[in-house]
Structure 1
Amino acid sequence: MSGERSGLEEAQRVELTVDAVAPGGHCVARHEGQVVFVRHALPGERVVAEVTELHRGFARADAVEVLTASPDRVEPPCPYAKPGRCGGCDLQHVAPAAQREWKTAVVREQLIRLGGLTDAEVDALAVRVDPLPGGPLGWRSRVRYAVDAADRAGLLKHRSHEVVPIERCLIAHPAIQELPVLGPARWPAAEAVETVASTGGDVSVATVTEGVPTGVSGPRTVREVAAGRDWRLPAAGFWQVHPAAADTLVGAVLDLLDPRPGESAWDLYGGAGLFAAALAGRVGDARVTLVEASEQGVTAARENLADLPRVEVVAARVETALARRRVTGPVDLVVLDPPRSGAGAPVVRDVVAARPRAVAYVACDPAAFARDVRTFTGLGWRLGGLRGFDLFPMTQHVELVGLLLPPA
């Protein structure tokens, strides 16, 4: 790696005092004035850290020895959740309640630094990250295992394409843990193995070769149960990976938006139609328009929402549908559920121009959410409410549902 090294070298070990949490599962430390992002550490700890990467103006490191431990430190339940091993879980060394405090701190910092909100505005939101039922292990209902050169399935190291063969993934759903995918199993010619354990009780395994899934066992179409409905979608199709996530997010969206009979609605980045169906159940005979770019998502939405004649499914990129007026305002309610990169300023501006009375923004990345909040507030809108959910325990990821409101 190139950059300003400030005396540090890759693989060098240094003693560091760890400061605040940072996005990405790291904490911030400093060595001779240089910022070091440290994994496997906690604020307030004194650690021996091994430098893993050097960049211009900062370095990355792993805490390989803890000299002074935080009271929030616990022994990781998984033997692979250690420096130089599996990179899938960022926070197994952190007590579950402290994990949620960690994520809350990251959300606050992003809203202030990138979102332009003041400390008082963030305090007024009473930001917190709530747990979901089921505990921190055994929740992940979709797991993609990479395959190494010896045809063994495993998971990747942090920021690496190197595969770590494992015997068991403890955050995987119990039905996935029971599958004969890991350990002595071999997967010749496969680049990955994709596993699914649906909320409807289906279990599926597929190998991936040159980017194409090929069924090995179980159904290729799985049943999910959420929002009072049954959903059918391809095993490889997108669905929330925590069994309680879909109902949790629908509940938050409906609670924040409070849809009323007769109100029109847009479900942007609508996927299989989870939010569109929930909105349709509240607005009666009013039209709900779902916009989705993925061919697989469009097909799933049209099949799963066929009993809701007032729901229209538009196959298009959201920015294209808005810019080319394939969907036009005015509209009463909008659900934004964009990818990790966020909706972006053009989409936010077009949504504001449609003059909805409220927008529910479902976000899987606090930084992208904060940037879009800044665009909304720059147009006179405000963040009127925010819910955080620990949809991905043991990892640095957090899900947010925000309520954006127009000027009074």
Structure 2
Amino acid sequence: MPRVYMDHAATTTVLPETVQAVTEQMFTGGNPSSLHSAGRRARAAVEQARDRVARALNCDSAEVIFTSGGTEADNLAVKGLYWSRTKANRAACRIIVSAIEHHAVGDAVEWLETHEGAEPVWISPNSEGIITPEAVAQAVGESPDTVALITVMWANNEMGAVQPIAEIAQLAKSHGIPFHTDAVQAFGALDIDFRACGATTLAISGHKIGGPMGVGALIATRTAPLAPLLHGGGQERSVRSGTIDAPAIAGFGVAAQSVTDHRAEESRRLANLRNLLIEGVRHAIPEATLNGPEPENSEQIADGAFRRLPGNAHFTFPGCEGDSLLFLLDMAGIESSTGSACNAGVPRPSHVLLAMGVDEGIARGAQRFTLGHTSSEADVQALLGALPAAWEQAKKAGMAAQAPDSQRWN
């Protein structure tokens, strides 16, 4: 059966040029920290990749700190900024954090609360999933000196809402508060200018843009107050020790350059495909609800004025479990995602949808369709052809919360 991949937000298909760059550097070999010829060649490959990532984000190459991925980059930012700030000022124990963050940020904040005495202030989004600057300002309140950092993601990984990052960063800067943004989903899809946005730190990941898994970066200003998570050889500005993965970094650099070179055209293409998908779902299943901002019209797409990620369409389908719908679509050759966590085998609704005020029963019927560089109109039509029957069958399976205990997932 032909497969249709609609989970590019989880990971996108690796680019051919990435594979070539990784393979070539693996055969070249060498430790970038070694002083001999092989080491210097490996170091040159790493620094070339660093320059490519820096150009893609309009930052200095010295501001690029390579990590093992977005999760480590987020943890380094959140924990590193918190530790440095509380060391300088014991009263700075509050963390202003959006309630729609990826778990890489949210769980790091909760860990600091449990183990380090941090006091999280969770900011709820509006009905479209947007964190407003006014809500952030209210959370900061009259005591900005007690805030260790503010962290709001650039674009939500589940329902695709793009956040007003520049305004929030400016607010943080006016109070002298470090600001971190998780840009893992936004990088490669939106125009990201690190220098202009005003963030202190910014996280990105390789496998979301056609690069390798296991590599990412934290972009940090030269003056960012960061305490290291790892201790060792002092690589990456002494805040990320460990042997530098030259092959993965080389592939990451090539992918960053490739997606940046084609970003504007590709984002417009994906946004038009996404709109076709949204219109088709609304026509086929009027009961379905699109979550997040309304899609942009053709003029807004042409201008690159995105309110939601170009390749993201997130729906809730009433009367069914998202997992049931996922498996039925998978059987029909469509690979999608619920976008929700599943803890201890018990399906749970998305924390993002709950933060937006969506009813728990409705939130359980979530389904995320995300497009990428391999997506085509034929893929969209295949989904639209399979979705109505899959939804009808999923409704017959019912809701896990309605089943007796003996029938619930365990």
With normalisation by structure 2, the TM-score equals: 0.33
Structure number with the higher helix fraction is 2
Structure number with the higher strand fraction is 1
Higher relative contact order (CA 8 A, sep 6+): 2
With normalisation by structure 1, the TM-score equals: 0.33
